[in-house]
Chain A
Amino acid sequence: MKISYEWLGDFVDLGGVSPKEAAEVLTRLGIEVESLNVIDLSQIIVGKVIEQKKHPKSRNPLWVHQVDIGGRTEQIIAGADNAVPGSLVPVALPGTTVPNGKLVKDLNIAGFSAKGMLCSAEELLLGDDHSGILILDSGKPGDSLTTVIPSQATMDVEVTSNRPDCTGHLGVARELAAGVDRPMKVDFMPAFTGKAEPAGRDLVKVTIDDSDLCSRYIGGVITGVKVGNSPDWLQRRLRACGVRPINNIVDITNYVLLEYAQPLHAFDRAKLSGGEVHVRRARAGEKLLCLDGVERELTPEMLVIADADKPVAIAGVIGGEETAVTDTTTDMLLEAATFNGPSVRQTARAFGLRTEASARFEKGLPAELALAGARRAAALIVELAGGAVHREWADVYPRPQEPVRIRLKPWLVDEVLGIHVPLEDSEAILVRLGFHVRVLGDGEWDVLPPVFRLDVSIPEDLVEEVGRVWGYDRVPPTLPGRQRDRWTPSTPSMGRRLDAARQVLAGAGFTETWNPALVSGRVLEQLRVGARALRVSNALSDDMDTLRTSLLPSLVNVVALNRDRGRSDVKVYEIATVFLARVGDKTTQQPEEPQRLGVVADAGATAESGRAAFYAMKSVLDACISELGAPPCTFQRASAELFHPGRCAAVFQDARQLGYLGEIHPSVVTGANLEGRLVAMEIDVEPVLAAASAVRARPLPRFPAIERDLAVVVEEHVAAGALLAAIKEAGRDVLENTRPFDEYRGAQVPDGSKSVAFALTFRSPERTLTDAEVDNVMVEIKLALEKKHGARFRE
């Protein structure tokens, strides 16, 4: 919101407080000034035009002026002709830079010297009128322009949603006054001066039909107004705040909105049918041609202002064209009402139309503000548009604002802030902000907030009022650290525990990614992993309308993106939540949110490179699991969406399945516009962490080991894992370790068979083994392999 520094000066003496200082005070108080724009008019002087003649030689029409600038006369040439003799005008002499940035030079135009410039409103940044020279209402030649128009400063302020009272200059000025400790020049509630007969409430009959959406409606009648232009100062202030002047009546309603934060509306009373005003919900099918020229269809949840026949305004949002004040209006109805915030917001949203009025109503305005705004507007109308205010306005107020009282233990201020604020200072601050404070016998305070402050209701709110004016800069930083007899022992977070896996992955060349959890539901369905996906009901776009059920589609896309950008051998992973809707009658509950580790890597282009990459991925998984301190995983051939049907393993830890590891299905790869092969895994990490335990050191071996190799020839279908299990079982307690290290097909191995080579390490913890002992165990191992898997052996 734009706030004019000059305007604030109407309410509080700003002598000695520069715009910059005022901005700093407001920011410290909680009204954040985002930017400050100062228009310095002190270098511009007032001039009086003595003579105006057409330039005789110039091809473009130019006018040569003789201008009295106080004690001397200068010749100044202008393109506009509105500075007729006698006009008071702003003059910029050579060497001056005018506010729009133009440097004025000493010129000679076709034989006529030009000693300066007559300024338009646009050049002085006082408006967008560049059609002519700005004509001043008053001023003395030679004086600084600031004697007529003060230097302008506008602030862009951000008002928090709890302070609708500060969406007007009066409220901001009150904050500033409290901040600089100066009195307010005006009272919140202006006097009412309406005397004309008959009583306003007899001229316009107001009824609130739906009082749940309107807690107060004031309809003030003013007759005999003369519609015309507003005076310069008012137009200038409106412009400074970004509002376009229209006519004096409309301008005054806008002016009071910007001043009191109370939206107002002016109707041409003659156009209100039946002399009636109804505040009611719209009826199905009703329409209204609005002030912006758009006809809007109304729905029954919207509140409207209607006359005897039809809606004439959408409550709190926008008025109707037909009943608007025009040049011919003489009698008017001034509306000042308090509409329900959520209702106004809903209506404004439904139309995609956020007006100055709706923005204020949305936040919930105090009903007392309506009366203050209406009185202020009536006074201005009489002053600037003439007319007579009728006595006894209609003021329908079905639910009067409840006064709030707060019992404050004033020492709470010190307790919350952690510093000492003298009681008299706390009290003075509250009084400066418009609160009434009564000290009770027990030392507690009975505090009555001002009527325009609906945001204050509990003692902590009062602490905040005192704190922000006292100054939080005066609160020194401390750390909590009192005696404690209870605490929670420190445990490492899940994220920190998983860093062990991150380190393994980094060492193996994998880079971590964070990918959005919202993905395209259509793509999940195409990949057939959308069955348990949750769909957002109000998505921003269909490429992020669904929560992902797997990390792998995102990671495949990461490979595609990086290949597009010239990378090969992409190795990436992510540790994040996936979302699985609950099934059966629990679909409306919160979903399961398992934490997953997903890994994807390039796996070359050939079946053989894919196979190697598969085993490399197993090594990565084994290393991660081992670093996390969990028992090793086992693998079972499986099939799963996203995975290659012949190259997919279900990953188990004890009896629990953690996820899958394997090559990505070729159709998923091509679906992502990729060539070649990808290898991947995705596992649940929470069970891994749950199974983790501290490493227990084993004693170092005291006796030597004996190494043997064994080449086992079996039929193709026999898995290395099965052979391994058989060897381990037969190797008893002297087989310390064994692993397969080679797989061979070809000469010396029959068709349909393969040779798997194992390295075996034998050792006893109690004695030195003899070759003969190991030979015996090897015989047993061979027998077992022969019996269970029909194995033959190669030397």
Chain B
Amino acid sequence: MSNPQELTQEALAAIARAQTEAEVAAIEVDYLRRKNGRLSSLLSEIGKLPPEERAALGQAANEAKRAIEAALAAKRQELEEARLADIAETEAIDITFPGPPLGRGHLHVLTQVQRQIETVLESMGYQVELGPEVETEWYNFEALNIPPGHPARENWDSFYFTPDLLLRAHTSPVQIRAMQRIKEPPIYIITPGRCYRRDAPEATRLPYFSQVEGLAVDKALTVGDMKGTLLYMIQSLYGEERKVRVRPSYFPFTEPSFEFDVTCGICAGAGCKSCRHKGWLEVGGCGMVHPQVLRNGGIDPTKWNGYAWGFGIERMAMLKHDVEDIRLFYESDLRFLEQF
């Protein structure tokens, strides 16, 4: 039978020889296991000793246990450090190999652009309003100050179902419906939605398209407020360096009426091929709401006034993403849609 000191020496030598965690664990079990471990076997003899020797053996055994535990811990630390020291080589992988495809689908680019526009305008207190796509003559034309025979009707050549029912040529009817429903200003709304005009399909226009119109009706609104709103919207969507100008134009439902242009993103207004040397890109129309249109919406134009604007979502997406053919948006070729 050996004594604790010899046992310790033996254990320390074994630990020193150990190369792997498994060997260390085996040594731990061999020497320190409670049942039948070498140290506890040694102590099982303790009852046979005279009482005065028992305490000394007990103390020696405890010292042996601590020494072995310390050596095990040190060895483990050493092995762990050795392992971590070369994982750079032992576990190296080819980091240039691509990850597997996620198989994620895509939101339509027009949904994304529409949502960006909505987000900007909602942050200014505008609410989304929706309305029917099959409209009546009154909402699509007459309420907007475009009576039958009006020369401007030419700009809104429409698809008819009956003499009174047609596919809306713009989302402006939603403005009238919203005014009628809300009744009492302030009214701050935007009206995204699909529209239809009887134009043969080509690269720059389609018989179907999507618009966002905005309408503000409140007390003492000004052309300046309209310009500010458009500028805030454009800069939020395209960057702070963009400028907006309004150019007098004509729509029957606004007075005064404007086209609004945005500085070309390529030449910053200096003029280049992409903007046909104008420096400006036409984006949409806008103006102060015609008093008759307010009246048709049930709003008293002597108490309230308003401004409105509208533009094509496709046009905004084309400007933002350099899309050159409007037909791509509705062709549903995944090779296009998956780019966004």
Interface residues of A, Cβ cutoff 8 Å to B: 27-30, 32, 35, 160-163, 341-342, 345, 362-364, 415-419, 455, 458, 460-461, 463-464, 467-468, 472-473, 475-480, 482, 484, 486-488, 490-491, 493-496, 499, 502, 505-518, 534-540, 544, 547, 558, 561-562, 565, 567, 570-572, 576-577, 579, 588, 590-591, 593
CA distance A479 to B329 in the complex (A): 33
Q: Tell yes or no: B73 within 8 A of A by CB.
A: no
Interface size, B (range): 35 or more
Whether A561 lies near B132 (C-beta < 8 A) is no
Of the candidates B161, B219, B244, B338, the one whose C-beta lies within 8 Å of that of A537 is B161
- The answer to whether A488 and B132 touch (CB under 8 A), given A27-B247, A511-B105, is no
State whether A161 touches B152 (Cβ < 8 A): yes
Further pairs besides A416-B222, A480-B221, A534-B134: 5, Cβ < 8 Å:
A345-B154, A478-B225, A488-B182, A511-B337, A547-B167
Interchain nearest-CB distance for B107 vs A (Å)? 5
Any A CB within 8 A of the CB of B224: yes
Pairwise interchain contact B223-A162, C-beta atoms closer than 8 A:
no
On whether the beta carbons of B255 and A512 are closer than 8 Å, the reply is no
Is B256 touching A464 in the complex (CB atoms < 8 A)? Answer: yes
- A-facing residues in B189-234 (Cβ within 8 Å): 192, 194, 196, 198, 200, 206-208, 210, 216, 218-225, 227-232
Residue contact A160 to B224, C-beta cutoff 8 Å: no
Would B250 and A475 count as touching, CB distance under 8 A? no
Q: Report whether A482 and B219 are in contact in the complex, using a CB–CB cutoff of 8 Å.
A: yes
Residues in A neighbouring B122, C-beta threshold 8 A: 490
Chain A residues near B219 (CB, 8 Å)? 482
Contact of B134 among A341, A507, A593 (CB under 8 A): A593
How far, in angstroms, from A162 to B155 measured CA to CA in the complex? 12
The reply to whether B133 and A517 form a contact with Cβ atoms under 8 Å apart is yes
Q: Can you identify 8 A-B contacts, CB atoms within 8 angstroms?
A: A35-B276, A341-B151, A416-B256, A417-B223, A473-B245, A477-B232, A511-B334, A516-B330
Q: Which residues of B contact A540 (CB under 8 A)?
A: 198, 200, 207
Q: Is the CB of B333 within 8 A of A512?
A: no
Given contact pairs A458-B255, A461-B255, A467-B248, A476 touches B224 in the complex (Cβ within 8 A): yes
Q: Which residues of B contact A512 (CB under 8 A)?
A: 105-108, 111, 337
CB atoms of B106 and A460 under 8 A apart: no
User: Once the chains bind, are A418 and B223 in contact (CB under 8 Å)?
Assistant: yes
Q: Which of B133, B200, B248, B335 contacts A30 (CB 8 A)?
A: B248
Out of A467, A493, A506, A509, name the residue touching B107 (CB < 8 Å): A506
Q: What 8 pairs across the A-B complex have the smallest Cβ distances? A: A418-B222, A30-B248, A418-B224, A493-B128, A160-B250, A464-B256, A477-B228, A342-B149
Which of B225, B230, B248, B337 is A480 in contact with, Cβ under 8 Å? Answer: B225
Which residue from chain B places its CB closest to the CB of A467 in the assembled complex? Answer: B256
**Chain B residues with CB below 8 A from A32, complex form:** 247, 249, 259
Docked complex Cα distance between A759 and B327 (Å): 51
Q: Which of B194, B256, B291, B331 contacts A517 (CB 8 A)?
A: B194
Which residues of chain A have C-beta atoms less than 8 A from B207's C-beta?
518, 540, 544
Q: Residue B110 at the A interface, CB < 8 A? A: yes
A506 pairs with B105, CB closer than 8 A: yes
Pick from B115, B159, B225, B288: contact of A539, CB under 8 Å: B159
B332 within 8 A of A: yes
Distance, CA A622 to CA B130, complexed state (A): 27
> In the complex, how many angstroms separate the beta carbon of A456 from the nearest chain B beta carbon?
10
User: A416-B223, A464-B248 in contact; A509/B334 too (CB < 8 A)?
Assistant: no
- Contact A475 B224, beta carbon cutoff 8 Å: yes
Residues on A with C-beta less than 8 A from B333 are 561-562, 565
Q: Is the CB of A363 within 8 A of B151?
A: yes
Residue in A345, A480, A488, A567 whose beta carbon sits within 8 Å of that of B216 in the complex:
A480
B115 in contact with A499 (CB, 8 Å): yes
* Least distance between B284 CB and chain A CB atoms (Å): 14
- Bound form: Cα–Cα A215–B290 in Å: 28
User: Is B48 interfacial (CB 8 A cutoff)?
Assistant: no
Shortest Cβ distance from residue B8 to the other chain A in the assembled complex, whole angstroms: 46
Decide if B303 is an interface residue (CB 8 Å cutoff).
no
Chain A hits for B255, CB < 8 A: 458, 460-461, 463-464
